[in-house]
Amino acid sequence: MEFRDTESVSESVTEAPVAAKPAAESTAPQGAKQPKAKKDSKTVDVQLYAVEVDHSRDALLTEFGKETLTDRYLLPGENFQDLFVRVASAYADDQAHAQRIYDYISKLWFMPATPVLSNGGTGRGLPISCFLNSVPDSLGGIVDTWNENVWLASRGGGIGTYWGNVRGIGEPVGLNGKT
């Protein structure tokens, strides 16, 4: 099974256009792809959409809510409304959509799941809380599912795997074997 690197997908979508270097400064042959700088887990992607921020909405948060956001989701130098803007901008389709998402979150009409708050606009992890998959009835299928689960777990997701397709104990395997 092949997975896209979420960091490279995120970078291709959210990076601001960069002016081309003059030929004298370029070290790679013309047309060659320039290597991208590796982002750390606290790097925030370029904000795609301008969002009108209302800092007075911090007052809507309870003390427990503020402590939770501070302990688990805020990046260095980020405040509550910055977090909501980062998430809204990361998942919006256009500027109006980003504003609506920001308004809904900042007014506490809804709050996204942990991976959305943690990873939105950062280029790390996935915006998904849990993953479901199934195991085919073959050695290759079991190994592939194991590898998939290791990859998913490394990205911070919970995993539910259906094993109902795999033969039970005592059933025939090959010509003379049993499970």
Residue 116 tokens read as 């959305």
- DSSP-derived 3-state class of residue 1: coil
Give the CA-trace dihedral at 151, 156, 157, 163, to 10 degrees: 40
Using the predicted structure, report yes or no on whether residue 133 has a pLDDT greater than 70: yes
DSSP 97: H
83-126 residue pLDDT tens: 999 999 999 999 999 999 999 999 999 999 988 998 888 887 77
Q: What is the pTM of this model?
A: 0.58
φ, ψ of residue 178 to 5 degrees: the values are: -135, 150
Task: Name the residue ranges covered by the structural domains of the chain.
Answer: 44-125, 130-178
What is the pLDDT at residue 31?
54
Residue with tokens 């993953």: 131
Non-local (6+) Cβ contacts of 69 within 8 A are 61, 80, 83, 117
Per DSSP (E only), the strands in the chain are 130-134, 158-162, 172-173, 177-178
Residue with tokens 């590898």: 147
Residue 106 tokens read as 């900042």
138-150 residue pLDDT tens: 999 999 999 999 9
DSSP 61: S
Mean pLDDT of the chain: 80
